Amino acid sequence: MDHRTIALGMAIAWLFTWSSGQRESHGTEKHDSETIRFLRASGSEFVQESEIHFRQTLQNFVVTSITQRGEQTLTVHSQFDSNDRLVRASVTLRRGERAQSATVSVTDHTARVLRNGQETNELKCPGGVIVTSAPDWTDSVMAVRRYDPKGNTTQTFPGLWIHPTHGPLELTIKLTRLGQDSVMLDNSSRILDRLLLVLRGGSQYIVWRNQQGQLVRLLSAMKDHGGIVLAGWERATRDLKPCLSPD
């Protein structure tokens, strides 16, 4: 066997090993996923309100929210790169067999929103923008998730509101820490941060955040009933009341 044959054999063996390694690497790419459910108060009971899926990989972070009310289902999907910059987003509204949608593409910090039969709208799209719609709670959940309890008392987050039948809006979502409340969950005391949340149009809510950064309860700042609750926290948060006064 001459040197050329040996060299060729070694090259083929190396290429096979490299290709197998690449396939194994792509096939076993690490990712984290999480699904949370929120319930809506309806009289003395709670009914399904929305389900939010998070998926984190090395390359991107994907958020998908599905809210269903009667025959209407609204799905908000947004994908971010590894630097938390929005790559694309979509909103789909289904009523029975009819579906309407709006899509977002992003270039150089500019979001281009395309709706059925409408002209393209261009809006600013800063890093970390939160994509939301209505009825949808992605803005609330993501703002609470990103709130840094060691940071400023009031923190703001950029938002992009899109809808198939309404014009898009640039938003500023604001959270202000008011204090803490204690509740009992699984026979142990849990400390919750209480915050004032300001959303689109200046609507105000009181939200409670657990130590894992999850929104566990949301109530209108003007009413002590209704709102939404993280599944599993219904009993623990039933006595919480909205309070705008800081501790």
Tens of pLDDT, residue by residue over 123-152, are: 999 999 999 999 999 999 999 999 999 999
**pLDDT for residue 207 is more than 90:** yes
Residue 245 is predicted with a pLDDT of 86
**CA 77 to centroid of chain Cα atoms:** 9
- Give the residue, 171 or 12, on which the prediction is more confident: 171
**pLDDT for residue 13 is more than 50:** no
Record the tokens describing residue 246, joined without a space: 């800081």
* Tally of CB atoms within 10 A around 77: 19
- At 243, the pLDDT band (50, 70, 90 cuts) reads confident
Domain positions in the chain are: 31-230
* 141-187: pLDDT as tens digits: 999 999 999 999 999 999 999 999 999 999 999 999 999 999 999 99
Cα-trace Rg, the chain: 23
Beta strand ranges found along the chain (DSSP E)? 32-42, 45-56, 60-69, 72-81, 86-95, 98-107, 110-115, 121-124, 130-132, 154-163, 166-185, 188-198, 204-209, 215-220, 228-230
* 81-99: pLDDT as tens digits: 999 999 999 999 999 999 9
Per-residue burial over 183-194, b = 16 or more CB atoms within 10 Å of its CB, e = otherwise: beeeeeebebbb
- Give the residue, 192 or 28, on which the prediction is more confident: 192
Query: Once rounded to an integer, what is the mean pLDDT over residues 2-14?
Result: 44
**pLDDT for residue 194 is more than 90:** yes
Average pLDDT over the chain, rounded to whole? 89
- Cis check for the bond before 149: say yes or no (omega within 30 of 0): no
C-alpha 216/C-alpha 230 separation (Å) is 5
